[in-house]
Amino acid sequence: MNISFSNRDAVSGILKIQVIKEDYIEQVEAGLRDYRRKVDLPGFRKGMAPKGMINKIYGKHVLVEEINKLVSDNLFKYIQEHKLDIVGEPLPNKTEQKEISFDGEGDFEFYFDLALSPDIHVELTKDDKLTYYQVEIDDSMIDEQIKLYQNTFGTYEFNAEDVEEKDVVNGIVHELENGIPKEGGLVVTETVVIPQYIRDEEEKHKFIGAKKGSVLVFNPRKAYAGEEDKISIFLKVEKADAAAFTADCSFEIEEITRYKAAALDRELFDRVLGENVVSDENTFRKKVREFISEQYAPRSDSRFLSDIRTLLLSKAINVVFADDILKRWLLERDEPPLVTEDNIEEEYPKIAETLKFQLIRDSFIEKNEIKVENEDIFEVTRRIVKANLVRHGMYSVNDDLVLEYMKNFQKDETTMRNIITQAMENKFMDWLKGVITLDIQHVTPNEFLELVQAEEPAQSAQ
């Protein structure tokens, strides 16, 4: 077998593979012997069919299979051994490649187009200056988060004596006519009112302060501003019937249920942070501040990475790709389908920019020997697990349980690849922050949100 590579230009070339009979004949004969042992042919015992018949039926299939395997193995072996840094995958050449017939054993030639990674010459110094937006956590945000904790860990108080705006009020409804229950009129048992959601203020205030056991008169249509879905739920009727219902009703209050927020005390501190982590409100507030800061840090990093991407691409305007080969690769790859014939001209420039940034980033990582250690992977996994638990309302989780969840993450290869990628991105950003000049700007959460929203239309237009 003879393999050679010739450059078409600085970022592409043609790889030629010449296969002679001696390269594959033994594998083909072994494959046919294997078929002879396994196949059942009518009129012959298993493994006893004539060799000539096996060759006639399966010879071409085995020949194609073995040559394809031989070519594929040696193609990638050559690329690896000769350190050809390719982009995408090798593609069959459409100009040099002649039509191949596998009707007989002989010599074959295969030609492949390779897109090569361009040379990257991008430098960063302290002269490069970028803004890093650091979100300032103020007391109002801490108060809001603590209030969320208090509501999350609150309790229900049953049999309250009088109604407050956020209470759940259970009772019996009677349709009225001339101020008294209508004969044959609508009666609804075990229905619920939450005054907070009554639209009309006058109707709402009929409930506020009402005592358990009292009967009040109100109008459902007026109370819910004619919203048929809410009226139908309250009266337990179809929407069409709710649309036609205009009568006043009596409401006998049977039960008042009140949700009571948790007190800001040691019990709440333990439930949020874990037992005996903090013992006083000031320390608790400091921990809450740290927690909120942790939530904003990835967003600041994401914005910073976006700005780094813009900076690096501006320094690499002369970096080019073998566009014709890469477009073919994008169109011919099995999955995931990134482009179609209809949108490739529109989408390709964005894909090429992403690819360019990845190559620049990888060149910095390789040149500066930036590596992900086990502790980096551990820390990223821990953060993801804890964030997932918080989203499910599990604020205080001991370390042993976190480790168990982390073990489950490690069983999934795709998840672990994503975690390693994230860990490398973190290390890359940490390295960048030490190489360029950072202009740290302190912003409020609203200011940061405005920055991000202003950036999104610009990105979508690219």
Residue bearing tokens 């982390």? 406
Would you state the pLDDT for residue 238? Answer: 93
Q: What is the mean pLDDT of residues 140-168?
A: 91
pLDDT at 209 over 60: yes
Domain 155-260 fold is: Chitinase A; domain 3 (3.10.50)
Q: What is the mean pLDDT of residues 367-371?
A: 93
pLDDT-derived band at 75 (thresholds 50, 70, 90) equals very high
Q: What is the mean pLDDT of residues 193-199?
A: 94
Would you state the pLDDT for residue 456? Answer: 58
β-pairing, 12-19 vs 155-157, is: unpaired
| Most confident region among 39-48, 222-231, 416-425 by mean pLDDT | 222-231
pLDDT at 336 over 60: yes
- Flag the least confident range among 30-39, 215-224, 429-438: 30-39
Would you state the pLDDT for residue 55? Answer: 84
> What CA–CA distance (Å, rounded) separates 68 from 66?
5
pLDDT at 176 over 70: yes
Q: What is the mean pLDDT of residues 112-130?
A: 93
Please provide residue 50's backbone torsions phi and psi, each rounded to the nearest 5 degrees: -60, 145
Q: What is the mean pLDDT of residues 418-439?
A: 92
Element (H, E) at 324: helix 323-332
> What CA–CA distance (Å, rounded) separates 388 from 392?
7
> What CA–CA distance (Å, rounded) separates 5 from 11?
13
Would you state the pLDDT for residue 98? Answer: 86
- Flag the least confident range among 48-52, 81-85, 111-115: 48-52
Would you state the pLDDT for residue 297? Answer: 86
pLDDT at 225 over 50: yes
What are the extents of the domains in the chain?
2-115, 129-146+269-461, 155-260
The whole-chain average pLDDT of the chain stands at: 89
**Residue-wise pLDDT tens digits, 80-89:** 999 999 999 9
| 452 CB neighbour count, 10 Å cutoff | 13
Q: What token pair was written down for 340?
A: 């179609």
Would you state the pLDDT for residue 182? Answer: 94
What percent of the chain is predicted at pLDDT more than 90?
59
Q: What is the mean pLDDT of residues 2-6?
A: 94
What lies within 8 Å, CB to CB, of 311 at 6+ separation is 128, 130
Domain 2-115 fold is: Alpha-Beta Plaits (3.30.70)
> What CA–CA distance (Å, rounded) separates 358 from 325?
18
Q: What is the mean pLDDT of residues 116-143?
A: 92
